[in-house]
Amino acid sequence: MTVADVRLLTSPFDPADELAGFAASHPAAGGIVSFTGQVRCDAEAGGVEALELRHYDPLTLPGMGALAESVLGRWDLEGLLIVHRSGILFPGDPIVLVAAAARHRRDAFAATDFAMDHLKSESWFWKREKSGGSWRWIEPRSEDFEDIRRWQ
């Protein structure tokens, strides 16, 4: 039985270290696909100074776990890793890491893509961004909802 490693962190993590440990724990995998999301610095909008992710504890980690179970139920994986930050982050800080290990690459690509689409559009996080010294809330984009519709 494949088990997912799902974590919600309030402190920084190193995606390279996480991915190296994940790869080492799945030697039977023919491929590992990963996605790392990070805080961007949007120079055109005056530069992102910080990003804050808030969440509701009773829903967030259980929701992430349910997403992982859904992923494991759809694709033949050797392993799945989902690491997500909360709190205040700064440009260049990693926000999320999703990695899927599979015997065949297509399963790993699809599983990672599916997990990220769901984290983006059905997430249990509220996001706000600071630029020009002011905070503003970030709403999901229409593209995020279009991305998730393709999985239905």
Model pLDDT for residues 48-96, shown as the tens digit of each residue = 899 999 999 899 999 999 999 999 999 999 999 999 999 999 999 999 9
Q: Report long-range pairs for 141-150 (Cβ below 8 Å, ≥24 apart).
A: 144/117, 144/120, 145/121, 147/117, 147/120, 147/121, 148/117, 148/118, 148/120, 148/121, 148/122, 150/117
For 97-106, how does the pLDDT look when each residue is reduced to its tens digit (9 = 90+)?
999 999 999 9
pLDDT for 57: 86
Can you say whether the dihedral through the CA atoms of 12, 88, 7, 95 is positive or negative? negative
Name 80's bridge partners.
Answer: 4, 100
Domain count, the chain: 1
- Kindly report the CATH number assigned to the domain that includes residue 86: 3.90.1170.40
**Domain, as residue range, for 92:** 4-149
Q: What is the pTM of this model?
A: 0.92
